[in-house]
Structure 1
Amino acid sequence: MNKFKYYFVLLLAGLAIVSCNKSDDDDSVVVPVRDYAEQYKADNDSIEKFLKTNYIVVDKTTFDVKIQKIPAGGNQVSIWDQQEYPLKVRPVYSRDVNYKVYYLTLNKGVGDAPCNFDEVTVSYTGTLLNGTQFDTSYGLARDFNLNIYASDGVIEGWGEIMPQFKVGTRNPTGDDGTITYNDYGAGVMFLPSGLGYYANSKTDIPAYSPLVFSFKLFALKRSDLEYSASAQAIVGDGVPTYLEDVNGDGYVYNQGDTVRYPKLPDELIDDTDKDGIPDFLDLDDDGDGYTTRFELTKPTDAPFSGLSKYYPYDPVLDNPATPNVDESELWGIPRRPTGELTDPAKPESITNPRKFVPEDYTTPGRLRIHLDKTYPYQKN
């Protein structure tokens, strides 16, 4: 009996110890996320120190990059001071911080430039400031979505720097199915953690790490991102995202995202009807009650037509890969018609519109009908 009491007391003591430890585990300390502005100051100091104490070696044929620390007594010219690839700075506004993002242009590229919501085909290598390589595509092309809101989207910094470059030209597919490119854009970006993974640690990437990416931009795929709540899907409005960049700076931003852009400068907003929805997410860009898709649909009697059901933003050439079909669209989206009235004796109205003339489809700088809220004619 005494022996039983002894083991019973030991059991109770053990349970008490386990209970105390479990309570301690549950009361884990939650570390608050650092202030973005303060972290940027630290990141920028680290990046500038890196740029002043490291040098770069570039293969001028492949644009492969090596970045190495300048040894004591070394005479290598730092990334900061070298002039062969002058260091550039892109201002970026995010989370109420005005970032300076440093980057190098090794080759500009010869094709189109992506906007910051397009998909791109890229090869890349990512390293930390201490030289640790955390990721690479091993020189092979991979597809990435620059859309920061997409489930498969990349970090914010990529979308800010990629539009500064252009894609290359695609070579004929090799006998083994390989695809290669010439004259592609190539560069190096130095990202503060606020435009990277910030407080989220990843494999081989500690939280709050500035990142260095060398990259080659081979190709792109345009996006059209308007979202239909009823269909629960991206349906687009017929105008690619990059063409909804009203101010022409190569970038579009969602001013409705007040967490990321609490005070987005007016000059960065592309919102024709000022309804708080940027054109690239707005199914009715000019707010006239007619969807952009409706306004771009060709009438059955369209005088200047092609195979497409919709007016293209700009003229489209025939695709030589389809010799039996002519996809030519010689006329882009028209402006409000300026030709003769249907009935010259009556005033212009919804029942007496003017006729379209060739200049309505071709005049540079014309106000296209999907951005002109006076067309279609308003009913009185």
Structure 2
Amino acid sequence: MNKFKYYFILLLASIAIVSCNKDNDDPETVPLRDYKEQYAADNDSIVKYLKTNYIKSVSADFDIVIEKIPAGGSQVSIMDQTTYPLQTREVYNHDVTYKVYYLTLNKGVGLSPLNTDRVNVAYTGSLLNGTVFDSSYSVSRSFELYMYSSQSVIDGWGEIFPQFKTGTANAASPDGTITYKDYGAGVMFLPSGLGYYGNGIDNIPAYSPLVFSFKLFDLQRLDHDGDGVLDIDEDLNRDGYIYDFRDTARYPTPPATMVADDTDKDGIPDYVDTDDDGDGFSTYYEVTKPTNQVGWVDGVFNGVSTYYPWDPVADNPNTPNTDETEPRGIPRRPTGPLKTEGQPESIVNPRSFLPADYTAAGRLRIHLDKSYPYQKQ
């Protein structure tokens, strides 16, 4: 009898466990809200925030304090103040054209990141009610803006950071700490569609517009397809943004103002295309130097890299033990004399490269020129 009771209780416990597991394995699915309807609500909230809050102070280090205008207060709202430009950028994402507001506290003096670069920043993130959900102002952090990276950030960062520039590094302190000056600094006000949208995380509720104050210290250029050409040099129209329109969820019907940056029009943007011009030769192969053209050759220094940089590179004076000089950039199709004059140019009768082929402004570089290397006869 006691044994029967034991097995009966065990059976009930097993049923309860199975029932709990079934509930956990089959949670109720809540569909995402419509992006356009949610943006309308977010934009109303952001505009209200900009009209009812003011900039209390901005320190010499561009630490900003924003507070709500008290009842009857005479403070000038963020929307109406003119000390720090309130600007907007149109961003197309999930078939919505967002109007993103951002403040420029300082533009910066260095380089602007591409929207796939890695940036070194300090920031504070908060909700519209003032709740701070994350902050790195005590120490800078590095983030990759490339949205398909496992360590990527929210889409809004990749749209706003390219509007700013990095600073310049001060001399390292005795403990090796590097500080910066004249860096870009601002505040971005992001609708939830460019933030976490329906994915509430930690203390950020789902569908929350976000406010980020930030400082852009430095950046690292990246090469996402490993072809020897940095992403920044695969931005064909040099606008600071490259997109992958194969992502039809984000970009179902891109406007004409968004450029594909796709040389061979195969649907794969150059920054993730290993054969940019579609000629059957990999980009890496086309920009690789012949083995006899690396280092010193016949008294001429050709650079130590095994592939050509985008353009000639000067030595970095901050690295006295290393010579980064690369006197030649990626060449165009050669324009020198034929191997055998009077015979047609071909794979067996090529032209020779002239110095100008490596340096001429506006040249069509060989990895973007489908007519070179020569096709087999």
Instruction: Provide the TM-score with structure 1 as the length reference.
Output: 0.89
Cα deviation, residue 237, structure 1: 0.3
Shift of 1:179: 1.3
Does the CA-based 8 Å contact 1:124-1:139 persist in structure 2? no
Alignment of 1:367 onto 2:364: yes
Query: 1:243 aligned to 233, 252, 271, which one?
Result: 233
Instruction: Tell me, yes or no, if the aligned pair for 1:304 and 1:331 is still in contact at 8 Å.
Output: no
State the distance in 1 between where 2:309 and 2:30 align: 52
Aligned equivalents of 2:126 and 2:35: distance in 1?
22
Aligned-partner SS, 1:205 = coil
Residue equivalent to 1:189 = 188
Can you list the C-alpha shifts for 1:313-353, whole angstroms capped at 9, x where unaligned?
01111133543543211111111111222222212111112
For 1:1-380, list aligned pairs within 5 A: 29-226=28-225, 236-266=226-256, 267-302=258-293, 305-380=302-377
Name the count of aligned residue pairs. 363
Residue 122 of structure 1 and its aligned partner are, at CA, apart by 0.4
* Shift in alpha-carbon separation, 1:379–1:134, aligned structure 2, 3 A: same
Deviation track 1:224-273 (CA, whole Å, cap 9, x = no partner) reads 111xxxxxxxxx00001111111211011111111111122354211000
Q: Residue 222 of structure 1 aligns to which amino acid in structure 2? A: R
CA deviation digits over 1:262-312, x for unaligned, max 9? Answer: 122354211000001000000000000000100001123448821111111
Q: Report the AA paired with residue 352 of structure 1.
A: N
* Aligned CA distance change for structure 1 residues 23 and 118 (closer, same or farther; 3 Å): closer
What SS class does the counterpart of residue 78 from structure 2 fall into?
Answer: coil
The residue matched to 2:291 in structure 1 has which SS? coil
Q: Residues of 1 paired with 2:20 and 2:315: CA distance?
A: 71
SS across alignment from 1:201? coil
- Opposite residue 172 of structure 1, the aligned amino acid is A
Identity of aligned residues (%): 64
Is the 8 Å Cα contact of residues 188 and 215 (structure 1) preserved in structure 2?
A: yes
- Which amino acid is the alignment partner of residue 277 of structure 1? I
Counterparts of 1:291 and 1:237 in 2: how far apart (Å)?
A: 8
The Cα shift of 1:131 comes to: 0.7
- The RMSD of aligned alpha carbons is 2.6
- Counterpart code for 1:183: D
Report the residue type matching 2:160 in the other structure. Answer: I
Partner of 2:211, secondary structure, is: strand
> After superposition, what is the alpha-carbon deviation per residue over 1:102-141, rounded to whole angstroms, capped at 9, x for unaligned?
1011111111111111111000000100111111013321
Deviation for aligned residue 1:358: 2.0
- TM value normalised by structure 2: 0.90
Residue type of the partner of 2:31? P
SS at match of 1:268: coil
- Contact 1:104–1:187 under 8 Å retained in 2: yes
**1:91 CA drift (Å):** 0.9
Residue 202 of structure 1, CA deviation: 1.3
Partners of 1:89 and 1:101 within 8 A in 2: yes
Q: Which amino acid aligns with 1:291?
A: S
Aligned-residue offset at 1:187: 0.5
